[in-house]
Structure 1
Amino acid sequence: MRSILPVTRRGLRESWRGILAWAIGLTGALALYLPLFPSFGSNGSLEEIIATLPPEMVEAMGYDQIGSGPGYAQGTFFGLIGFVLLVIAATSWGAAGIGGAEESGRLELDLAHGIGRVPYVLEVALAIGIRLGILGIVSGGVVALLNGPSELALSGEGITAGTIALIGLAAVSGAAALLGGALTGRRVVGVALGAGIAVYGYALQAVANQSDDLAWVETLSPYSWAYATSPLETGFSGGIAVLWALALVFVTGAMVSLRQRDITG
């Protein structure tokens, strides 16, 4: 009898040390940045520092609201450090899932043992989703624990929405990396697509912030879909749903691509 979700289970079993390391890294980043807010926010010194920076830089980095608790959490973790760390993690997992497996010969061996191509992609995507879910729970839990002591005044809905938006951005990069591997069988292409869409989204958001005439550009940015409505303050929005829909489109593209392409091993 064939075991249930063998690729997913193997992926999680082999990556638990990596998940632990990423969880520690995210916790460390939150513990480093969030408790600093009372030192800056209460006396307005943080806003004074931001005022000394070029307005273009402030707009590009999204620091215009950093004097508030939600704005500070967004500017330091959700929109920057956490975003970078989770995109790196998801992209590495996505690129290894198909492209890396094909380069090593593991993909060909797995398919020879009766695992269909479409189920293989779905199981790899599920493993990435579970990993990101674990890191999202860790991140959201740490933010909730530090919320009071750090005087951020975040609501439970805001923390949940912000975390799901952040994990959604990482999921888009992970799914894009999966698609890159499925299209070419190359890990490096997966890395390029996963990292590329993250940079693309962030860059478009930065461009859109430079001028009201360019505001329409943010409608093309996954980063904007996640954060344009400030989920830490306002909760869930349609943009977050669109973000997750894009990740599903990339996974579907990976299934179609792998199904149609010859596997060389």
Structure 2
Amino acid sequence: MRSILPVFRRSIRESWRSLLGWTIGITAVLFLYLPLYPSIGASDQMQQLIDSMPEQLVDTLGYDQIASGAGYTEATFYGLMGFLLMTIAAVIWGASLATAEESGRAELDLAHGIGRGQYALETALSVLVRLIWLGASAGLVIWALNGPAELELEPVRIVGASAALVGLAFLTAGAALLAGAATGRRIWATGVGAGIAVLGYILQALAKQSDDLEWLNALSPYAWVFRQSPLAEGVDVGGLALTWGVGLVFAAASALALRARDLRG
């Protein structure tokens, strides 16, 4: 009897140690930054420092609302360190399809009766589940620190911000999966995934420099979910749906790309 979701199950089984490491790392970042809010984020000295910085730089870093718990959490984690760590994980995991092909493992697996489309989709599902785990665990830690760190965050908005971060990371991973499926080369998968994330961040940063460049937000996945502060104002449902939708399209396209191309070990 053929096992259910064999590629997905094996991927989760083989990656649980690294997933645990990523979980610990993100938790450590949250425990490093958030408890400092009462003494740093809301202090007069910090506000004076922010006031002394160029306005464009403050807007780019998201420090304009750092005096509030929502602004501080978004500036330090969701919009910066959390985004960075989740992006790195997404690119590494998203490139796994190309890595398996370069090592010859994908060809061996496919020889055992696993379809190419199934192989790509189960790989994408594995990446998605791991990213959801990281986003959910980060949200739980933030919720646990909400009271002690005096952040005054609304729990439902923590959920929305975490969904935005995971969706953004999955879009990056989806781009890496698609590039890997189309080329079979890890360097292309890594480059495309990282490039999508970096370009999105740069475009929203440029959009903040001038009203004439605000149209660039429409091209930036980062801006789709973070242009409106998920913690302070609530998540932008349209931007969130667009981000998740593009990520899912990339994942589906990776299955089609893998089916349409000869593999090379």
Q: With structure 2 as the length reference, what TM-score do the two structures score? A: 0.97
**Structure 1 unpaired stretches of 5+:** none
Equivalent position of 1:249 in the other structure: 249
Superposed CA offset, 1:149-193 (max 9, x none): 111111011100000001111111111111111010011111101
The number of residue pairs the alignment matches comes to 264
Partner amino acid for 1:256?
A: L
Q: Closer, same or farther in 2 for the Cα pair 1:252/1:214, shift >3 Å?
A: same
Deviations 1:76-96 (A, max 9, x none): 000000000011001101101
Partner Cα distance (1:25, 1:52) in 2 = 32
Residue aligning to 1:4: 4
**TM-aligned CA deviation for residue 73 of structure 1:** 0.4
Q: Give the residue type in structure 2 aligned to 1:45.
A: Q
**How much does 1:143 deviate?**
0.3
CA deviation after TM superposition for structure 1 residue 15, in Å: 0.4
Could you say what secondary structure the match of 1:150 adopts? Answer: coil
The whole-number CA distance in structure 1 between the counterparts of 2:258 and 2:80 is: 33
2:182, 2:155 → 1: CA distance? 40
Report the Cα offset of residue 208 of structure 1: 0.4
**Which piece of structure 1 moves more, 227-236 or 65-74?**
227-236
Distance 2:40 2:81 in 1: 19
Deviation at 1:66, TM superposition (A): 1.2
Q: Offset of 1:56 from its aligned partner?
A: 2.1
Identity percentage over the alignment? 54
2:172 aligned counterpart, secondary structure: helix
Residue number in structure 1 paired with 2:124? 125
* Residues in 2 aligned to 1:42 and 1:204: alpha-carbon distance in whole angstroms: 29
Paired with 2:45 and 2:79, the residues of 1 have a C-alpha distance of 21
| CA RMSD across the alignment | 1.0
1:112 matched to 2:111? The reply is yes
For 2:23, the equivalent position in structure 1 comes to 23
Rounded Cα–Cα distance in structure 1 between residues aligned with 2:138 and 2:86: 10
Question: CA-to-partner distance for each residue in 1:68-120, whole Å, 9 max, x for gaps?
Answer: 11110010000000000011001101101x10000000110111111101111
**Equivalent residue number for residue 88 of structure 2:** 88
What does 1:225-244 align with in structure 2 at a 5 Å threshold?
A: 225-236=224-235, 237-244=237-244
- Per-residue deviation at 1:42? 3.6
TM-score under structure 1 length normalisation: 0.97
Q: Distance in 2 between matches of 1:184 and 1:130?
A: 24
Residues 1-265 of structure 1 correspond to what in structure 2 (within 5 A)? 1-96=1-96, 98-236=97-235, 237-265=237-265
1:146 CA displacement: 0.5
